[in-house]
């Protein structure tokens, strides 16, 4: 729970930052690579190669299949707010 | 403990790193057409995103969340010397900070294992510790 709270805090801070940023978060043996710029953001769970992104402001979605980036699951929460 | 290593990178430096990795953006696009891999899709779109506003630097952060790291006076002294003294070997660090070489080696290896520093190859297989960040923030 402690790590999960920190994880949410870190992710939300990164996504709220307005400039261009590349962050690699190392937590409990996992690495999460996060990129943020004016035109959108992305989050890659390294190793598993699962991608979450909001490129070009088209709405946050998940690419769950590491070998097929065309597959998308829409994130219900409105990431534009 | 949460450690954040921070440095600034120019858009051009980032572009050069990506070109060294993939050759060119066009080659990465072709590779993605063939394999459809998530990682290539993300790398390509991140590359395009981060090339926007070329005058604006990119803030690069490495965040390490760990319970296995104790940073005391010795570790800070070692980090400071690696950053500012540009040592050529671990032995040089031990000599400079007047500490036992074996103990200093253990501490440096532990700092490297936790991702605070990295090693470059020196002469005769020696390892040169390097700290490529401008700022370290520690939150406890």
ipTM of the complex as predicted: 0.81
Which residue of chain A is at minimal alpha-carbon distance from B60?
A22
Helix ranges, chain B (H) = 11-22, 25-35, 38-51, 73-85, 90-97, 101-113
Residues B49, A2: Cα–Cα separation, whole Å: 33
Task: Look at B63 and A50 and tell me if their CB atoms are within 8 Å.
Answer: no
> Which pLDDT belongs to residue A4?
62
Q: Which residue has the higher pLDDT, A81 or A26?
A: A26
The pLDDT tens digits for B76-119 are 999 999 999 989 989 899 999 999 999 999 999 999 988 889 99
The pLDDT tens digits for B5-37 are 999 999 999 999 999 999 999 999 999 999 999
Cα separations in angstroms, B117 against A52, B105, B128, B129: 29, 13, 10, 7
Min Cα distance A48 → chain B (Å) is 10
Residues B108, B114: Cα–Cα separation, whole Å: 10
Q: Which residues contact A67 (CB under 8 A, 6 or more apart)?
A: B35, B36, B37, B38
> Which pLDDT belongs to residue A1?
59
B 102-131 residues with CB < 8 A to A: 115
Entry pTM: 0.80
Which residues of B fall within a CB distance of 8 Å from A50? 38
> Which pLDDT belongs to residue B115?
85
Min Cα distance A74 → chain B (Å) is 16
User: In this structure, are residues B11 and B54 in contact, taking their beta carbons and an 8 Å threshold?
Assistant: yes
Which residues of A fall within a CB distance of 8 Å from B112? none
Q: Which residues contact B72 (CB under 8 A, 6 or more apart)?
A: none
Over residues B119-124, the mean pLDDT reads 87
Residues B89, B46: Cα–Cα separation, whole Å: 36
Strand partners, A45: A32, A50
């Amino acid at each position: 729970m402690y790590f999960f709270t920190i994880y949410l805090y870190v992710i939300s801070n990164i996504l709220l930052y307005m400039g261009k940023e590349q962050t690699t978060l190392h937590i409990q043996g996992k690495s999460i690579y996060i990129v943020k710029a004016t035109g959108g953001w992305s989050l890659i769970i390294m190793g598993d190669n699962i991608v979450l992104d909001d490129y070009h402001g088209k709405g946050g979605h998940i690419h769950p299949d590491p070998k097929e980036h065309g597959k998308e699951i829409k994130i219900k929460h409105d990431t534009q707010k | 403990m949460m450690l954040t290593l921070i440095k600034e990178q120019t858009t051009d430096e980032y572009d050069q790193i990506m070109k060294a990795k993939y050759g060119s953006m066009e080659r990465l696009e072709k590779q993605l057409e063939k394999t459809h891999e998530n990682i290539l899709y993300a790398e390509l779109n991140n590359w395009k995103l981060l090339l926007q506003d070329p005058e604006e630097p990119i803030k690069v952060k490495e965040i390490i969340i760990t319970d296995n790291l104790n940073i005391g006076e010795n570790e800070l002294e070692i980090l400071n010397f690696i950053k500012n003294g540009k040592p050529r070997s671990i032995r040089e660090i031990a000599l400079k900070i007047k500490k036992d070489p074996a103990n200093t080696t253990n501490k440096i290896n532990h700092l490297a294992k936790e991702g605070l520093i990295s090693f470059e190859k020196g002469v005769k297989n020696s390892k040169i510790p390097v700290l490529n960040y401008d700022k370290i923030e520690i939150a406890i």
